[in-house]
Amino acid sequence: MASGRAAAAVRGLRTLTAALALYTRAAPLLAALRLVIVLATGLAPVATAWLTAALIDDLTAQRTGRVGTLALLLAGVGGAAALSGYVTAFVEREIGRRVSLAAQERLFAAVSRQRGLARLEDPGFHDRLRLAQQVSGAGPAALAEAALGVVQALLIVGGFTASLLTLSPLVTVLVLASTAPALAAQLTLVRKRGAMVLDTAPNLRRQTFYTLLLMDLRAAKEIRLYGLGGYFRGRMLTELRTAQRGESRVDRATLLTDGSLSLLTTGIAAAALYGVALRIAHGHGTAGDLAVLVAALAGLQGALAGVLAQIAGAGQVFTVFTHYTAILDAPADLTGTDAPPPGLRDGIRFEHVWFRYSAAGDWVLRDIDLTIGAGRSLALVGLNGAGKSTLVKLLCRLYEPTRGRVTWDGVDIRSLDPDLLRARIGAVFQDFMCYDLSAYDNIALGGLDRAAADPGAVERAATRAGVHPELAGLPAGYDTMLSLVFQDSRTPRGVPAAGRFGGVSLSGGQWQRVALARALLRSDADVLVLDEPSSGLDAEAEAEIHQRLRELRSGRTSLLISHRLGTVRDADRIVVLDGGRITEAGDHASLLAADGTYARLFRLQADGYRAAGTPGAGPREGAAPPVTAGQQPQL
Ligand SMILES: Nc1ncnc2c1ncn2[C@@H]1O[C@H](COP(=O)(O)OP(=O)(O)OP(=O)(O)O)[C@@H](O)[C@H]1O
């Protein structure tokens, strides 16, 4: 228990140190200026109280010698305090901007350090990331400001405690003693609020998801067609209401606590005023003493309340900020030496690889033993959910095998740097990205260095993917934004586009070719991975692309996944996956001769074409043109 508290205290101290380090490093000079202002404004109220008392006493005793000086000093302190307010507002905002920049830079550098997918798929990590992202904007500066606020308030407390002690030690003790229960109550509230923030994080994450869905252009078609607007709005509001119920519970507890504490302080102040006023009335003390008492009581209670409010306010930020530091401290999920893998000479091997996405989940790959020889083409086929894409993700080291290993020329890829390994792979994933960027950018993302070094590389990749004519014909050519959300563009090369123009959207097949061009930009990649590279293409385009891919793949190591068996028939080796196991392997002819699953699926597809081609069975008027060899309907 005690060690748990000690560990929490150490964690707390580290969190606070991290926030202060961010604050001071992001703007060292401004932070120093802020500290000077804090010290000055911390001492100003006590100075004002004593100057006022001295002035009142001199005036009531009709001592005129230093009245002018005291009045000027009083005005000077007041003026400096007022000016410091404006300077503080500016300095706080300026530091806030710089700290926010530095904090976000560090947060997303830490996120990029997680180079696999498993951690990103963990909902707990996501909740933590969302909170960290929220707090990284204003959080570190708010924490540092709270710490400075506490310093300032403690200076005021010190000054007024000394002042009050000279007037009434009993009142001083009472006022100070009343802060103990207040502090305990505030700390309890801080803990409650911290727990509430974590409890409601999943609700708020789901609420954000529904909100984004309702605003998403890509989701808009289905939402309208299926009339889902009200349904998602309802779900969004349910999540928000649940989160708000948690907040409201803590707000009620806060009101109760703060209300009771304020009654306590009012009672103490009333008793102190009553006692001292009577004493002065009976000739013990001066009117100046009363002025100091009123200022000291108000100042001390105000400052103590300020300390507590700072603790309460900062407490919530503090709890959330622990998630920020946790993400920054999280070790990288994948390790490996920095030595780049050598160019592939022998091949890639899956050695008795077993894989499941979570310890509680089913096996997705079971005892996969597979070699992709260097310079050879391998095709993976199988029904939906057989594990084909998962195998590709293991090859790219987006996940690690649960058992067994994947080797690159005999070296376990776990010992290689994931980024350097991936740099040797060009891939089109089944769920490729459509970036709301220019056409040029959409392709250049496949190799930013290459695109920058070789101005013609993007267009050549687009030509090889068969999408150059379409992109060149766009309103601003390759500089056209492929987005309906962001409409005007600056070219990726930093040159303003000629005139402003609306963004455009491509067809599904055109997007697929842009994704292919992105992969082909890595023309020197050792391995080309194509997961359903032509599912969205029309028959003519597919034939053309596959002819190009055949040329590209020849002499290159490639892994092709396709449900259209006609497109894989010329692969050097075809592997059939079923339920995560390899059930058949061989070339097209041997698999047909074996008359297993591949032969059955191939015949099923071929029969579909024959049926469409027989008189009476089609083709229908307006149907797709007759397909050429290699064009098959999907499984
Ligand atoms: N990120 C994930 N987390 C948990 N399970 C997953 C994940 N991705 C895939 N799966 C599961 O793994 C199994 C294999 O999926 P995979 O995408 O590898 O199949 P596939 O053969 O590529 O299918 P398809 O032909 O439909 O693309 C499926 O049961 C799927 O539900």
DSSP sequence for 407-460: EETTEEGGGB-HHHHHTTEEEE-TT----SSBHHHHHHTT-HHHHHH-TTHHHH
What confidence tens digit (pLDDT) does each residue in 534-583 have?
776 777 777 777 777 777 766 778 899 988 888 888 889 999 999 999 99
Q: How far is the CA of 391 from the centre of ligand 1 (A)?
A: 10
CATH 1.20.1560.10 positions along the chain are 2-182+258-329
Q: How far is the CA of 399 from the centre of ligand 1 (A)?
A: 13
d(CA 143, CA 95): 12
Judge whether 207 and 240 are in contact, CB under 8 Å. yes
CATH 3.40.50.300 positions along the chain are 360-424+526-635
Average pLDDT over residues 242-262: 90
Q: Residue 498's pLDDT band (boundaries 50, 70, 90)?
A: very low
* pLDDT value of residue 610: 63
Q: Is the pLDDT of residue 619 over 70?
A: no
Q: Is the pLDDT of residue 624 over 80?
A: no
* Tokens (6 digits) for 568: 């894989």
Quote the mean pLDDT of the chain. 83
Q: Residue 618's pLDDT band (boundaries 50, 70, 90)?
A: very low
d(CA 566, CA 570): 8
* Tokens (6 digits) for 246: 């948690």
* Tokens (6 digits) for 101: 């920049």
Judge whether 286 and 280 are in contact, CB under 8 Å. yes
d(CA 312, CA 191): 9
d(CA 370, CA 350): 5
Does pTM surpass 0.90? no
Ligand 1: which residue has its CA nearest to atom 9? Answer: 390
Ligand 1: which residue has its CA nearest to atom 27? Answer: 384
Judge whether 297 and 272 are in contact, CB under 8 Å. yes
Q: Residue 192's pLDDT band (boundaries 50, 70, 90)?
A: confident
CB of 467 shorter than 6 A to ligand 1: no
Q: Answer with the residue of higher pLDDT: 232 or 172.
A: 232
* DSSP letter string, 304-346: HHHHHHHHHHHHHHHHHHHHHHHHHHSPPS---BSSPPPPPSS
Name which of 149-163, 219-233, 296-310, 418-432 the model is least confident about.
296-310
* pLDDT value of residue 243: 93
CB of 534 shorter than 6 A to ligand 1: no
Q: How far is the CA of 390 from the centre of ligand 1 (A)?
A: 6
Fold assignment, 2-182+258-329: ABC transporter transmembrane region fold (1.20.1560)
What confidence tens digit (pLDDT) does each residue in 475-491 have?
889 999 888 776 654 44
Ligand 1: which residue has its CA nearest to atom 12? Answer: 364
Which residues 6+ apart lie within 8 Å of 468 measured at CB? 459, 462
Which residue has tokens 């302190």? 77
DSSP character at residue 481: B
Average pLDDT over residues 436-445: 92
Name which of 10-14, 338-342, 418-422 the model is least confident about.
338-342
What three-state secondary structure class fits 523? coil
Fold assignment, 360-424+526-635: Rossmann fold (3.40.50)
What confidence tens digit (pLDDT) does each residue in 382-408 have?
988 999 999 999 999 999 999 999 999
What confidence tens digit (pLDDT) does each residue in 42-62 have?
888 778 878 888 888 888 887
CA quadruple 513, 516, 518, 520: dihedral positive or negative?
negative
DSSP character at residue 532: S
Ligand 1 pocket mutation, candidates 121, 356, 364, 601, criterion most atoms within 8 A of CB: 364
d(CA 97, CA 409): 49
Q: Is the pLDDT of residue 632 over 60?
A: no
Which residue has tokens 């055109």? 510
Q: Residue 611's pLDDT band (boundaries 50, 70, 90)?
A: low
* pLDDT value of residue 322: 85
